[in-house]
Amino acid sequence: MKILRMKATFGGLDNQELTLKEGLNILQAPNEGGKSTWSAFLRAMFYGINTKERDKQGHIAEKNRYQPWNGGAMEGVVELEWKGEEITLRRGPKGNTPFGKFEAVYTATGEPVPFLTADNVGETLIGAPREVFERSAFVGQGGTAIDGAPALEARIAALASSGEEDVSYSQVERRLRDWLNRRRHNKTGLIPKLEEELAADGELEGRQAKAFRLAQEAKRELDKLQAEHKHLQAERDAHLARAMASRRQRWEEAQAALEQAQGQVEAIRAELNRHGAPPDKATLQQAQGELNRLNALHTSRKQAEERLEEAKDGERAATAAMANPLFPQMTPDEAWEQASDDAQAAGEMPRCGGLYAGGVIALALAAGSLALAFAGVLPAPWMGGAACGVLAGVGVGLIAAAVVWKKRAAGRTAELLERYDAEDPEGILARASAYREVWALADQAVKQRESAQRALTDLIAQDEHIRKALLELVHPFAPTVKDTFGVSAAISRALQLEERLATAQVKLEGAVKLADSLPKPTPVAADPGVEPRFDPAETAARLSAAEGELSRLRSGLAMAQGELNTLGDPAELEERKEAAREELERRQREYAALEAALTALDAAHTGLQARFSPALNRLAGDYLAKLTGGKYDKVSLTRQFEALAEEAGSLQPRRALALSQGTADQLYLAVRLAACRLVLPGEEPCPLVLDDALANFDDERMALALDCLSELGKERQILLFTCHSREKAWEQER
């Protein structure tokens, strides 16, 4: 088989394409250049992706690890040549399943390849299942070492024996050990279970015997106790018959007392409700309080009437005192204003000093004019006389007016003082102040009279309201009542009947309780005529104890019989034990046969390895000699697929862990190349995929490895992915 071209959208590959040739393909790319991704893509195209794999600590599931970085769908194409036909493989998404869609067609015609499916394409074209391919022709990055797998073991067994490869040694060994464990495992093995079953059956047999013995003992005791129980029942019936006679008499007396109490209650209730049902006791007691309040209101009303008369007398006296001729129909403020004006008028002195002064000045001017005339100062003497006469007249007139004004003012003051009967202006103000006080007393008297009137009116209204309410209260059960005396009598009568009714009801309740505490005697059997050995209490106690013991014995007997029924028939138990013993012997024989089979299998596997291992070890040794330049020329592979290398001329092989990393990689590469030659089909050999498999080789051994791979490339296609340039340089130098 030869791969011609690959195109992928897979992980970091974004619709990238890779074209290959025959033989050795050295594919150089830097770190993160997609080398490991191309390798994983090719494996996924052949064998698909395990969608059940989940992420784990330190490990990412393949379906998540290679999700395209561009966010698109995971898809790819591989064109290859197989058995002379060019075939194109395509995978893509199917719903949410990556690489779930598969198609295989002939490249030239596009017709489907009928024998290739998504499940068998890898095994058909490669010629081996995935486990064999991954441990032979597919070397992932850092995965040169090889380990065992059932498919690889089966392939090796088939090659060594020319038989079928349906099963491997490890699978058969595991199956045989599973069968051994199934028979001998401490907890779940069939043999321990059978042994436990036999032990349980033996214990069950002992329980059956014990249950039978207990049942017999319980039956004997039960028969004896039943006779005593029957005699105690007869004694109890005798006590009961005598007690019932006394109880019936007490019950009949209680019923008679109950009927009498009921009659009294009904009679008092009928009397109480003769004209209608009265209010409850609390309402009647409240009405009695209202009657007492009405009496108190009557007394308060008389007192209010007396206070009103006193207020009216005070009002009349105050009104009479207000009739003052000095201030007729005046308010206190008006009277005070008038008295203030009159007091001011009476207290002011006549202002005639100006008139006197003017007269004196006029007379002085007249004398001056006359002197000037005599002195000849004036142009003419007559002018001085005339001026003197005029001025003298004016002066005399002013002095006369002043005298008249003073007399009039004195007369007016005397008149004011006389009218107010006052000696001075302060007396006038005192009269106004007294008028103000009388007015205030009169106003207070009016307010007192109005307050007394309102209080009396309120008391009258309360009296009428209470009388009306009381009449309305008693009319339903005392319709003939018309005054407060009748109201009081009706309320007292109702309260008295209520009290009698309450007393009768208490007696009735007592009679009811007594009657209820004495249930009606039920008919009982006649006195059996047995003379009791014990008093009623002891008889009842002994009967109860006997019944308890009977119950215990019956329960014990039932439990014993139930356990016997549960434990089953002893004959069936013995038959089951015999069958278990036979089954145990058969399983023990099987266990011995399985142990013998494991021993034979181990011997056969050892012989198989003796046939196959020399060829594998010899071929791996040849490859290792080529890869190491002859330093190591022998290889040994253990059952656990651990490879050991033996240096040329040395007697002791070395484990891979004791070698350098590069030498260990060369050792396992030699084993893989040998496995490819031996376990993979020689016809249409599948490509060999190496991802950085030479990374730990030094330059010399790298060249040796490339020489070996180049030679191997004549037989099969090889894809060598590398991050170094030295492989390309080797190729260019050739």
Tens digits of residue pLDDT in 560-582: 777 667 766 666 767 777 777 77
Residue 526 shares a structural domain with residue 435? no
Residue 478: name the closest of 465, 468, 466, 488 by CA: 488
Rounded distance, CA 222 to CA 521, Å? 34
Asked if residue 254 is part of any domain, the answer here is yes
Asked if residue 299 is part of any domain, the answer here is no
The SS3 assignment for 25 reads strand
The pLDDT value recorded for residue 96 is: 85
Rounded distance, CA 717 to CA 366, Å? 174
Structure tokens at 205: 């047999």
Residue 4 shares a structural domain with residue 106? yes
Domain assignment of residue 563, given as a range: 193-278+479-568
pLDDT above 70 (res 382): no
Least trusted range by pLDDT, from 116-130, 535-549, 575-589: 575-589
The pLDDT value recorded for residue 568 is: 67
Spatial neighbors of 545 by CB under 8 A, at least 6 apart, are none
% the chain with pLDDT above 70: 78
- Better-predicted residue by pLDDT, 559 or 104: 104
pLDDT above 80 (res 418): no
Range with the largest mean pLDDT of 135-144, 221-230, 598-607: 221-230
Q: Taking the CA of residue 703 as centre, how many other CA atoms within 13 Å lie in the half-sphere pointing to its CB?
A: 8
The pLDDT value recorded for residue 147 is: 52
Residue 363 shares a structural domain with residue 396? yes
Residue 313 shares a structural domain with residue 392? yes
* CATH classification of the domain holding 21: 3.40.50.300
pLDDT above 60 (res 161): no
Rounded distance, CA 512 to CA 502, Å? 15
Rounded distance, CA 405 to CA 369, Å? 29
> What are the start-end ranges of the H helices in 518-660?
536-567, 570-628
The SS3 assignment for 570 reads helix
The pLDDT value recorded for residue 280 is: 85
Contact, 297 vs 459, CB < 8 A?
yes
Instruction: Using pLDDT thresholds of 50, 70 and 90, give the confidence band for residue 296.
Output: confident
Contact, 624 vs 632, CB < 8 A?
yes
Instruction: Using pLDDT thresholds of 50, 70 and 90, give the confidence band for residue 182.
Output: low
- Better-predicted residue by pLDDT, 550 or 48: 48
Q: What is the DSSP letter of 520?
A: P
Residue 252 shares a structural domain with residue 361? no
pLDDT above 90 (res 93): yes
Range with the largest mean pLDDT of 69-78, 162-171, 258-267, 429-438: 69-78
Handedness of CA 121, 125, 131, 135 (dihedral sign): negative
Asked if residue 200 is part of any domain, the answer here is yes
Structure tokens at 137: 């022709």
Residue 344 shares a structural domain with residue 391? yes
Rounded distance, CA 64 to CA 77, Å? 20
pLDDT above 90 (res 23): yes
pLDDT above 90 (res 528): no
Instruction: Using pLDDT thresholds of 50, 70 and 90, give the confidence band for residue 369.
Output: low
Mean pLDDT of all residues in the chain?
79
Instruction: Using pLDDT thresholds of 50, 70 and 90, give the confidence band for residue 165.
Output: very low
Using one digit for the tens of pLDDT, what is the confidence trace for 328-366? 778 878 778 887 877 777 776 455 456 556 666 766 776
Residue 535 shares a structural domain with residue 403? no
Handedness of CA 587, 593, 596, 602 (dihedral sign): negative
Residue 400 shares a structural domain with residue 426? yes
Asked if residue 354 is part of any domain, the answer here is yes
R_g of the chain, CA atoms, integer Å = 73
- Better-predicted residue by pLDDT, 175 or 664: 664
**Other beta carbons less than 10 A from residue 223's beta carbon:** 10
Environment class of 693 (CB within 10 Å of its CB; exposed 0-12, middle 13-18, buried 19+): buried
The pLDDT value recorded for residue 666 is: 87
The counts of H helices and E strands in the chain are 18, 12
The pLDDT value recorded for residue 42 is: 95
Asked if residue 448 is part of any domain, the answer here is yes
Contact, 498 vs 279, CB < 8 A?
no
Residue 434: enclosing H or E segment and its boundaries?
helix 425-474
Range with the largest mean pLDDT of 35-49, 152-166, 642-656: 35-49
Using one digit for the tens of pLDDT, what is the confidence trace for 701-722? 999 999 999 999 999 999 999 9
Instruction: Using pLDDT thresholds of 50, 70 and 90, give the confidence band for residue 313.
Output: confident
Residue 4 shares a structural domain with residue 111? yes
Using one digit for the tens of pLDDT, what is the confidence trace for 435-489? 788 888 888 888 888 888 888 888 888 888 888 888 888 888 888 888 888 888 8
Residue 436 shares a structural domain with residue 349? yes
The pLDDT value recorded for residue 187 is: 60
Structure tokens at 267: 């009679």
pLDDT (average), residues 698-703: 92
Asked if residue 663 is part of any domain, the answer here is no
Contact, 689 vs 39, CB < 8 A?
yes
Handedness of CA 267, 270, 271, 272 (dihedral sign): positive
The pLDDT value recorded for residue 76 is: 96
Instruction: Using pLDDT thresholds of 50, 70 and 90, give the confidence band for residue 146.
Output: low
pTM over 0.75: no
* Angle subtended by helix axes 169-184 and 150-161, to nearest 10: 120
Last residue of one domain, picked from the residues 568, 583, 613 = 568
pLDDT above 90 (res 153): no
The total number of structural domains that make up the chain = 3
pLDDT above 70 (res 490): yes
The pLDDT value recorded for residue 403 is: 57
Last residue of one domain, picked from the residues 468, 489, 507 = 468
pLDDT above 50 (res 115): yes
Using one digit for the tens of pLDDT, what is the confidence trace for 187-235? 667 667 766 777 776 776 677 677 777 777 778 888 888 888 888 878 8
The pLDDT value recorded for residue 396 is: 67
Last residue of one domain, picked from the residues 108, 127, 146 = 127
Instruction: Using pLDDT thresholds of 50, 70 and 90, give the confidence band for residue 493.
Output: confident
pLDDT (average), residues 634-649: 79
The pLDDT value recorded for residue 484 is: 80
Residue 672: name the closest of 129, 36, 47, 139 by CA: 139
Least trusted range by pLDDT, from 6-10, 420-424, 457-461, 703-707: 420-424
The pLDDT value recorded for residue 227 is: 83
Asked if residue 652 is part of any domain, the answer here is no
Residue 462 shares a structural domain with residue 314? yes
CA distances from 651 to 414, 618, 627, 646, 647 (A): 175, 16, 20, 7, 8
Asked if residue 173 is part of any domain, the answer here is no
Residue 543 shares a structural domain with residue 461? no
